Structure 1
Amino acid sequence: SGSGGIDSLVNYTFDPAGCFVHGEDGMFIEPDPTSTNVVGQLRPFEVNLWQFIGQDIYIAFLHNSDDDNLISVDDIGVIKTTVVNSVDDLAEKFNLNAYPNPANNNLQISFEMPATSNLEIAIYNVLGEKVKSMSNDNVVQGIYNHMFDVSDLAPGVYSVRISAEFGATTTSIIVE
């Protein structure tokens, strides 16, 4: 937004049930509700932030509990993976288009394959979860079109990502 506020919020729920502690033996253990003493260990989590490439983002942690007062956060790392080509170069090489946008029932994905490669086209929701995909081995250089049925997707914003052995690019779509 122009006022310096947050344009959108993406929520990742790491423990939807809120019912375990990571035990010292590497297993997840149920806490004993009659005990005030639970010996545990931090549990590692990962979130893929690829959909935010090129954007400024803020990361916050919310401890949403009414029965305890502890949240442990340690060793936060944001790791940048290096791609041989820049995102702009890849977008130009793939010439990725998705239409109609917004889409209702069918989404046409058109792209140019600059070299022979294995290929995946995937659609991700705002949580970064893959909701649809197709893969092909040894796709030769050329121009391609692929139709996705999006009628079963909830209305909202999605990312279309095309990945090959030499790189990847992403575009956004809206499903109505």
Structure 2
Amino acid sequence: MFCRATWTNVTGNLSGQDIYAMMIYSNNIFVGDKTYGVYKRLLSGFTGLDDLTQRFSINVYPNPTTGEFEVETGFFEKEIKVKVLNLSGQFIFADNMANPNDKSSLK
């Protein structure tokens, strides 16, 4: 799905390698892959955005929190590492998730 789309090359070519990071900012989606390339694309260029959102969904709740929270992920094909940062960019939590139905919590 990602490799067949037209992407703006920020730091290399979209290689078709595993995607390690994905971020939505403003009207763009950014992805980083195994080759350390970074690519961006307008969100409006996707069809089936609901499917994409469901496939890559990550929920952190409750939000806001005073300390305890849970991380819940949508569908994924390989183990993923979830990192949570606060609004100041400080690292709060990390966990490896191997199953889409996993829930992680910080207490």
| Shorter-normalised TM range | 0.3 to 0.5
User: Structure 2-normalised TM-score?
Assistant: 0.46
User: Structure 1-normalised TM-score?
Assistant: 0.31
Structure whose residues are more often strand by fraction? 2
Structure whose alpha-carbon radius of gyration is higher? 1
